[in-house]
Structure 1
């Protein structure tokens, strides 16, 4: 495994555990597309679907487009249109996708975390997750 990929996966595992999640992803920005850089506890069919995410599609693409966290209380029952059908196969309920920035303030990637149970995330929890996500070592 590439050293930077290994470091990103290790960081993601620790970040998920520190925030009580059960699964997560890191997407790295390449132009107007997000490319999957790391995944933890994401089923292979979902990994294939989210391997390349265009701006504005799915939770990661919407977080990229909006430059804001995108969350759902339940991946499987979400009716907002923010959650793509493939994400509904993840064995989790609540989820959030968070844009992370470089030193110039440009989006360099999106970090996602999923939780076992349903939950609504208030602004303070989203702010905490966002601050922690900004520590992403590579993307």
Structure 2
């Protein structure tokens, strides 16, 4: 998937002034997804704050606007500093996905931490409307994209 390289290059070219919506939509379409979120870590509150979203029903936005570390897919990805994935969020009973998440109607989903040198800057989540297992190549590409977003946030 060479799309990730072009996404990383476009982040590098923005020099810190990221158009969050445009970036998220590019990532979503590059991975053939329909839904996504970018959350940035607020170090003062230790909450993940929603920067951009696509495909999230309006009534869910209040629940997703700030997420505690360790809650839901984004919060667990942030806590573990590793990708959290579900083949089908609709049938998952692990407790990782919050009950409201099922109302997004997505199935195959992944949340990755945005890390730079082991430090958390936020999370990136994308999802498909069908059951799907993201490949290791896709997961690694999302981690690299997350790292580049973290680098941009840190500068």
Q: Shared fold (TM-score greater than 0.5)?
A: yes
Look up the SS of the partner of 2:92 in the other structure. Answer: coil
Per the normalisation by structure 1, the TM-score is 0.88
Q: Does 1:110 align with 2:89?
A: no
Look up the SS of the partner of 2:39 in the other structure. Answer: strand
Picking from 34, 42, 48, the partner of 1:34 is 48
CA contact (8 A) 1:34 1:109 kept: yes
Q: Does 1:10 align with 2:22?
A: yes
CA gap of 1:129–1:69, structure 2 versus 1, over 3 A, is: same
Q: Does 1:23 align with 2:52?
A: no
The structure with the largest helix share of the pair is 2
Look up the SS of the partner of 1:135 in the other structure. Answer: helix
Could you say which residue in structure 2 is the equivalent of 1:48? 62
Following the alignment from structure 1 to structure 2, what is the Cα–Cα distance between the partners of residues 75 and 5?
33
CA contact (8 A) 1:5 1:38 kept: no
Moved more, 62-71 or 27-36: 27-36
Following the alignment from structure 1 to structure 2, what is the Cα–Cα distance between the partners of residues 134 and 24?
17
Q: How does 1:37-116 map to 2 (within 5 A)?
A: 37-102=51-116, 104-116=117-129
Question: Could you tell me how far 1:138 is from its partner in structure 2?
Answer: 4.4
Per the normalisation by structure 2, the TM-score is 0.79
Q: Give every structure 1 segment of 4 or more consecutive aligned residues whose post-TM-superposition deviation is greater than 3 Å.
A: none
Following the alignment from structure 1 to structure 2, what is the Cα–Cα distance between the partners of residues 113 and 72?
11
Aligned residues: 135
Q: Which runs of 5+ in 2 are unaligned?
A: 1-15
Task: Give per-residue Cα distances to partners, 1:100-136, cap 9 Å, x unaligned.
Answer: 123x431101000011210122323211222233333
CA contact (8 A) 1:5 1:37 kept: no
Which protein has the larger Cα radius of gyration, Structure 1 or Structure 2?
Answer: 2
Q: Which runs of 5+ in 1 are unaligned?
A: none
